Structure 1
Amino acid sequence: MSKLALSPMLVQYLVGLCCLRWHPDAVDVVLGDMVLDTAAGKPRDVDVTVTISQSGHVTHTFKAYEVKHESKPLDVAEVEQLCLKLLDMPSVTHKAIVSASGFTTSARDKAIRHGITLYELRPWTRPLQEQFPSLTMQGTAQECFPMSQLLLCWIDEQFAIVAREATGPFSVQSNDGLFDSSGKKHAKHKTFGDYQNELLFRSTEILFPLGPAATVLRTFPIPHSAPDGIVRAGPAWPHTHTLDVQGDDVYVDTGNGICRIDSVTINGYLQWQRGGDPLYYVMDEIPGGEAFAGALIAPGKREGQMTALVFSPKTRDIGINFVQLAKKHLNCIRELTLAQPTAKNSET
């Protein structure tokens, strides 16, 4: 079991890494109690519990201490509270506190006295040869593994809707509400604008491995740099894509009753764009500095989507993993005020 002092985004990474090892349905996230800030005399941050169940029983538990991107190290009072919570769980054999902002000297002494291991999750800037000698590489992880996402994007797109039950022409605006077959508000797609974003994602996820998108990617290199304000992108080409959406159970108000949307055609231009750079993190044991694990983590454009390269300090193995958090995880993490991306791209 680990007790973590993390930002909401790093809580998402924790849940994602759990989903890599166990099936997402086995992973649960629960918001707990506020943790008392003894200096301020009031509760400050919330506990997050991540549990993994196997054969109907909870087998692993991770405690996260959400600190809203604060940069100051955890002090002795905070670590004392975390230690007591860990020691109150005798069935857990491995107990640790992980911080993204370090620990004070007195906090380290307190954890050692209680037999609690400390780790710090920090930007991965040390040369690989110092902590990952089995890789036999010289330089930092960013120098040895430069990465960025390639995104297939729709630009200047327009939508054409087919609703066979409609008795006449109609139009739908981005802020118009959507319905299900019973006439209730649609549970997943609240507005047509939300649905448009979903269809753009779905379209590019279908198209990116096919021609001409794959041919364009092989033929035209995507620039690694561009002036400020300019998207790093290749040439755009016109395209049309029709999606059968009957299975989405999405209905619109045509002015003469609600009708199901049967298909949607997207007209516009497709373009390959270079996305943001991944985050390079390593988890070091405190105070010795031995690496527990290193990872390159690139958030995807869909909510809760991540790509991770995971490194072990003991072997040459590098794991390449794709993560999509379940809806139950996202609903809980949203309560930590995690900023979610709303872009309309797919990645490869």
Structure 2
Amino acid sequence: DPQNSSETSRLNTKHADLFPVPSTESETVQYHYGLKDLVTILFYIFITIILHAVVQEYILDKISRRLHLSKVKHSKFNESGQLVAFHLSSLVWCLYVVVTEGYLTNPRSLWENYPHVYLPFQVKFFYLCQLAYWLHALPELYFQKVRKEEIPRQLQYICLYLVHIAGAYLLNLTRLGLILLLLQYVAEFLFHMARLFYFADENNEKLFNAWAVVFVVTRLFTLTLAVLAIGFGLARMENQTFEPEKGNFNTLLFRLCVLLLVCASQAWMMWRFIHSQLRRWREYWNEQSAKKRVMVAPRLPAKLIKRESGYHENGVLKAENGMSPRTRKLKAP
């Protein structure tokens, strides 16, 4: 009956945040975000804390005992070890999602049919797990007894991840967010792997050079995709009205704010990268110049000491015939 069909469609739209909605294009069930996501995220926060403790207890602690690291290096080793495990799993998971959903083969799908209100289960589950992990990182600062000097730096990147992931999820930019997260996690995985190899052997710094190249390329790709999808793709969409009840935020102000946030975060990361690289090169050249000064410094010739005839015995000069030499008398002036 057409009347019953329209009524069912109206009810599905009204309660989309509470119940999964069957997709009209396929038989798969799709989902919408809602208040119940908060309970799900809280549940997975506890799961993430347990997994964090397992990785720390059975992997990282055993490795760090063999390396005999200092207190400062031990803290950084634990941080990088946890993030390597997280970034590797998230990288594989995110790559699987974007390939199976066809976002890589069809870049126009990043902005076509916006708003992307209904999500496949694996996309929604991925975002909820990402939010749970970065929210769990806040109490972990206390559990891991992070030094006070390190807390501001870790709070910065935790908040950046939460703002970008939650923004993409709530503003229905999940497809673009998946691609940008994939690029970000590749660079972060290489960086923390380089730190682990450095802690194992301080002469092993080749992976840092590979990370530096990937980091710069990642920033360029992130800015290019953001401008392409938001600045050009969404700007050409027909429906450009502010309708938050339908999940549509495609207005000029919205696009400018999102682009400003993405560009500001990428510029900030690039500035920190350049600053750290310049400091690293300065330290390297100072060490090289110090080594050259040590090698070039002239050696003073050894002074020749004129020994008297005879030999020494118990600190006393003996003559060759075995008798002590006579002491010379000083003439009075």
Fold in common (TM above 0.5): no
> Which of these two proteins has the greater Rg computed from alpha carbons?
2
Q: Which has the bigger relative contact order, CA under 8 A and spacing at least 6?
A: 1
Normalised TM-score (structure 1): 0.19
Structure with the largest fraction of helix: 2
Normalised TM-score (structure 2): 0.20
